[in-house]
């Protein structure tokens, strides 16, 4: 997802990695991250993933990268941070309320959602065609065990406060976003989860 799904870009990046490796054929994620420049979509996906996997250092690095690429702080909040937290909270709620097990793949969670009664899924986010955006919830369900419900509710509140700060104050935008990420993933957040 680093390339944003552009097949020509993927081909170019694979060729770059092949040339870089020479006779050494061992490829690992850190090498790919180092050699392949992230597209905007790739950075947003990676930021969402870093939040879900509780990787504070990477999440902060990706927020900085998006800001350096000229992305607006409000855009980062509303496109990457808030939807991730919302999906984690929705998935956790569904799993607790309906005793759904943690899925091994998003598709396993989609099947579980499809077996629920309609009133159990009425509140879930929808795609343009009206169907449930179940894949994003499935990804979140794989990571929801890393967070407490109260912690996710507090993170939603932190997103609201950040939104207000970004549109009504002159506070440094990176500082505002950093505060949201640290509230979600920082040391005290981990202690609250345990």
Q: What is the mean pLDDT of residues 99-103?
A: 95
List beta partners, residue 126. 132
pLDDT of residue 194: 45
Comparing CA positions, the residue from 137, 70, 138 lying closest to residue 108 is: 138
What is the fold, at CATH topology level, of the domain defined by 72-194?
Answer: Zinc Finger, Delta Prime; domain 3 (1.20.272)
pTM of the model: 0.79
Residue 10 pLDDT exceeds 80: no
Q: What is the mean pLDDT of residues 39-67?
A: 92
Lowest mean pLDDT among 29-43, 93-107, 137-151: 29-43
For 35-60, b/e burial (b = at least 16 CB within 10 A) is ebebbeebbbbbbbbbbbebbbebbb
pLDDT of residue 7: 72
Residue 37 pLDDT exceeds 90: no
The residue among 29 and 146 whose pLDDT is bigger is: 146
Q: Where are the domains of the chain?
A: 72-194
């Amino acid at each position: 997802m680093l390339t944003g799904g552009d097949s020509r870009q993927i081909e170019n990046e694979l060729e770059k990695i092949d040339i870089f490796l020479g006779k050494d054929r061992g490829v690992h994620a850190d090498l790919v991250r180092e050699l392949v420049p992230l597209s905007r979509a790739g950075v947003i996906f990676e930021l969402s993933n870093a939040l879900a996997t509780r990787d504070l250092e990477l999440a902060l690095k990706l927020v900085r990268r998006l800001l350096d690429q000229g992305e607006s702080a409000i855009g980062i909040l509303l496109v990457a941070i808030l939807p991730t937290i919302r999906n984690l909270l929705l998935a956790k709620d569904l799993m607790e309320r309906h005793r759904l097990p943690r899925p091994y793949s998003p598709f396993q969670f989609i099947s579980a959602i499809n077996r629920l009664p309609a009133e159990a899924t009425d509140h879930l986010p929808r795609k343009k065609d009206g169907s449930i955006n179940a894949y994003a919830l499935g990804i979140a369900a794989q990571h929801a065990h890393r967070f407490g419900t109260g912690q996710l509710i507090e993170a939603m509140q932190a997103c609201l406060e950040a939104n207000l700060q970004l549109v009504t104050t002159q506070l440094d935008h990176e500082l505002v976003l950093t505060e949201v990420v640290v509230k979600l993933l920082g040391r005290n957040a981990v202690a609250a989860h345990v």
